[in-house]
Amino acid sequence: MRRLAVAVLTVATLVGLSGCGANASDVAASAGRTPSAPSSLTGDITVLAAASLNESFTTIGRQFEEAHPGVTVTFSFAASSALATQIGDGAPADVFASASTTTMDDVVAAGAASDPVVFATNRMELAVPPTNPGKVTGLDDLTHPATTTALCQPQVPCGATAAKVFANAGIAVTPVTLEPDVKSVLSKVQLGEVDAGVVYVTDVKAAGDKVKGVEIADDVNASTDYPIAPLLHSAHPDVAAAFVDWVLSPDGQSVLSAAGFRAP
């Protein structure tokens, strides 16, 4: 009888809404949901993004495309410094997301972007092979002559941020290889070619059980800001601006937080 009463009440409610001119949006709102309006955006955009954003931006791009069926997002992931050079050389692109405010400032100074917004921050962590053959337990171990370490090139944000960590800790580290971006450093660790690599927290998390993370103490660790901006020569400035807005939205921020990024 209780089930019958609930069913009758539900039907009566829906009939009442219909009689008052309620539509699907009204019903969705009455259920605590906000219906999404059809998107009028169309066009393909290319997003140049720091290598450390690979996993999270791929997910954000998929979300954005689902919300805007007339849009296709293509990503190019690399070191922020390399991407800035591409932009300066006139590479066709619509959005730039950097792992460094300094690199973004260079792009703005060149007249290729304006009004960047910091959307996330990241900090450093040591990555070692799962079995940790070098027995690396902290930064000081990287100073041992027998310990092989991979770093990013100094002009790359992950290399510049690692240098800040070493300066904070008062140590000198001599790498056996300097890689073009953070994913290349991570690959050296995954392949067992080095005892340790200095990467971002998010890269250790993304690698799963392929590497083991060794935390860096907060009092010596360093972080970097991630700014984003539409590029002024974008062929679809409305779509580019909408993508930036999505990254800054709760949906985009949720993806970044799950990946290990911190809010600015």
Taken in order 160, 162, 164, 167, the sign of the CA dihedral is: negative
Rg (alpha carbons) of the chain, rounded to whole number: 24
* pLDDT at position 244 over 50: yes
Q: Comparing 156 with 29, which gets the higher pLDDT?
A: 156
Q: How far apart are CA 260 and CA 40, in angstroms?
A: 33
Instruction: Look up the pTM and report it.
Output: 0.84
Q: Comparing 24 with 242, which gets the higher pLDDT?
A: 242
Q: How far apart are CA 29 and CA 9, in angstroms?
A: 18
Which helix (H) or strand (E) is 104 found in, with range?
helix 101-109
Query: 30-70: per-residue pLDDT in tens?
Result: 333 233 455 789 999 999 999 999 999 999 999 999 999 99
Residues with Cβ < 8 Å from 36, sequence gap 6 or more? Answer: 67
Q: What's the rounded mean pLDDT across residues 129-149?
A: 97
Domains and CATH numbers, the chain: 1-34 (no CATH), 43-121+225-259 (3.40.190.10), 123-223 (3.40.190.10)
Q: What's the rounded mean pLDDT across residues 94-122?
A: 98
Q: What is the pLDDT of residue 5?
A: 38
Q: Confirm if 226 and 119 have CB atoms less than 8 A apart.
A: yes
Other CB atoms within 10 A of residue 252 CB = 23
| Stretch among 14-18, 65-69, 127-131 having the lowest mean pLDDT | 14-18
CB-based burial label for 114 (10 Å; 0-12, 13-18, 19+): exposed
Mean pLDDT across the chain, nearest whole number?
89
| Stretch among 6-20, 103-117, 127-141 having the lowest mean pLDDT | 6-20
* pLDDT at position 209 over 60: yes
Taken in order 144, 148, 153, 159, the sign of the CA dihedral is: negative
Q: How far apart are CA 104 and CA 96, in angstroms?
A: 8
Q: What is the pLDDT of residue 79?
A: 97
Q: Confirm if 123 and 194 have CB atoms less than 8 A apart.
A: no
CB-based burial label for 21 (10 Å; 0-12, 13-18, 19+): exposed
| Stretch among 15-29, 81-95, 113-127 having the lowest mean pLDDT | 15-29
Q: If you ran DSSP here, which 8-state letter would residue 231 be given?
A: B
Q: Are strands 117-128 and 196-200 parallel, antiparallel or unpaired?
A: antiparallel
- Match 């060149």 to its residue by tokens: 110
Q: Confirm if 206 and 125 have CB atoms less than 8 A apart.
A: no
Q: What is the pLDDT of residue 3?
A: 39
Identify the CA nearest to 256 among candidates 206, 221, 190. Answer: 206
- Match 């949906």 to its residue by tokens: 251
Q: What is the pLDDT of residue 38?
A: 58
Residue 18 pLDDT grade (very low, low, confident, very high; cuts 50, 70, 90): very low
* pLDDT at position 8 over 80: no
Q: What is the pLDDT of residue 39?
A: 73
Alpha carbon distance, N-terminus to C-terminus of the chain = 55
Q: What is the pLDDT of residue 4?
A: 35
Tokens found for residue 59: 């997910």
Other CB atoms within 10 A of residue 245 CB = 13
Query: 166-207: per-residue pLDDT in tens?
Result: 999 999 999 999 999 999 999 999 999 999 999 999 999 999
Q: What percent of the chain has pLDDT over 90?
A: 85
